């Protein structure tokens, strides 16, 4: 209001001077000059007073009335819901006071501390049947239960450390009637079409034989492996996906023509634990049809689960589709991560043992060169490099 009144007074003064002296040429320029000065002073006064008023408003906005301060500081009446005025909010009496070092605020699960698996408790004289969960290994089960890996393998008839999600592992407490000798492993006779597929991860540990297996599901970066095997007179087993076969039919045909074994790796490379079993079974049969069309051969009796991911239901579905053997592995080169040739050679040379099923991929860039150098070394150690059928027989 003050700035409006001031502007009005200055405007009247300047208008009066202009009207009084403008007609007199002698004072015309002086009148114009004085009028301009008055207008500038009016504008300056308007801006100055306006800023002062804003400052007063800002200062006054933070002055709390005694009643508001009382309500704000009172935990009992803070933000009451309609109909609940005066009621006390629940108190979190179980929360301990903050301590030094507790300042870290975990914003999401990714930054939260990892959950520690619960111990597996086996009572004296009793037994526990533990169901393998995703991420479990024999070593982790050993740590949680207090038993050795050797004990776990002995009690469950395991010849390798490979286990799968959903598998049952038996644990025997102190003074329980645990097996004193290894439980006989399941025979490798082909089950009927209605029976579950049998998981196999290793051949006989008494014979110096090794089976090279190659998965084909992505590209052909390491397709020269066909020539390497041919040069070294070695036969291997190839697990092909239906999509890969349809994309590279000539290579699929070459693999078959050179006498290598062919297994089924699914059509879409599905994770068996993430789809229903009917979808999974149809995917497997679709791959079979694609492989038969390209090579003229059925990929039976061997199937390999994509990602090595399976459970009892998936094994049953594979068996119903006509695949009695689901092939796992005992030595993983991890060549899909594209390690150097030297690292691949080192992993095979140090890890190789009797009856090994070695997992490799046609997409491995350095796999052909590494295999080419490893074949003579393994043969020099007395190993025979064979197909899965030879290994199992």
Q: Which residues participate in catalysis according to the annotation? A: 215, 361
DSSP assignment of 6-31 equals HHHHHHHHHHHHHHHHTTSGGGHHHH
Nearest to residue 367, comparing CAs of 226, 166, 253?
A: 226
Q: In angstroms, what CA-CA distances link 361 with 85, 150, 292?
A: 69, 31, 21
DSSP characters over 251-315: HHHHHHHTT-EEEE--SS---TTSS-HHHHHHHHHHHHHHHHHHHSS--TTEE--GGG---HHHH
Question: What is the radius of gyration, based on Cα positions, of the chain?
Answer: 41
Transcribe 180-244 into DSSP letters: SSPPPPPP-SPPPTTSPPEEE-B--TTS-EEEEEEEESS--TTTTHHHHHHHTT---EEEE-HHH
DSSP 43-111: HHHHHHHHHHHHHHHHHHHT---HHHHHHHH-SSSSSPPTT-TTPPPPP-TTPPPP-TT------SGGG
């Amino acid at each position: 209001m003050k700035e409006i009144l001031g502007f009005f007074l200055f405007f009247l003064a300047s208008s009066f001077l202009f009207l009084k002296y403008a007609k007199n040429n002698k004072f015309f320029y002086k009148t114009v000059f004085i009028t301009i000065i008055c207008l500038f002073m009016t504008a300056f006064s308007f801006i100055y007073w306006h800023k002062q008023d804003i400052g007063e408003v800002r200062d006054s906005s933070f002055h709390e009335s005694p009643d508001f301060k009382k309500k704000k500081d009172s935990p009992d009446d803070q933000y009451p819901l309609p109909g609940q005025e005066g009621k006390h909010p629940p108190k979190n009496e179980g929360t301990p006071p903050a301590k030094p070092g507790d300042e870290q605020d975990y914003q999401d699960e990714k930054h939260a501390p990892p959950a520690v698996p619960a111990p597996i408790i086996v009572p004296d004289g009793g037994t526990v049947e533990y169901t393998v969960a995703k991420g479990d290994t024999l070593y982790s089960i050993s740590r949680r239960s207090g038993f050795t890996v050797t004990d776990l393998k002995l009690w469950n008839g395991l010849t390798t450390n490979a286990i799968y999600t959903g598998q049952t592992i038996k644990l025997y407490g102190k003074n329980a009637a645990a097996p004193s000798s290894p439980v006989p492993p399941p025979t490798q006779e082909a089950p009927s079409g209605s029976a579950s597929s049998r998981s196999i991860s290793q051949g006989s540990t008494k014979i110096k034989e090794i089976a090279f297996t190659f998965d084909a599901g992505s590209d052909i970066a390491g397709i020269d492996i066909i020539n390497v095997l041919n040069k070294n007179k070695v036969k291997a087993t190839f697990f092909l996906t239906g999509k890969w076969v349809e994309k590279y039919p000539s290579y699929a045909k070459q693999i078959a023509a050179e006498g290598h074994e062919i297994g089924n790796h699914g059509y879409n490379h599905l994770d068996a634990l993430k789809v229903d079993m009917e979808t999974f079974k149809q995917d497997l049969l679709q791959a079979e049809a694609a492989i038969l069309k390209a090579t003229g051969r059925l990929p039976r009796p061997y199937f390999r689960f994509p990602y090595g991911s399976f459970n009892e239901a998936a094994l049953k579905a594979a068996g119903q589709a006509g695949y009695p053997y689901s092939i796992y592995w005992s030595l993983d080169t991890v060549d899909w991560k594209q390690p150097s040739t030297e690292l691949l050679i080192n992993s095979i040379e140090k890890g190789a043992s009797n009856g090994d099923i070695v997992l490799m991929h046609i997409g491995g860039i350095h796999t052909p060169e590494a295999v080419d150098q490893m074949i003579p070394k393994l043969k020099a150690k007395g190993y025979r490099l064979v197909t899965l059928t030879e290994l199992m027989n």
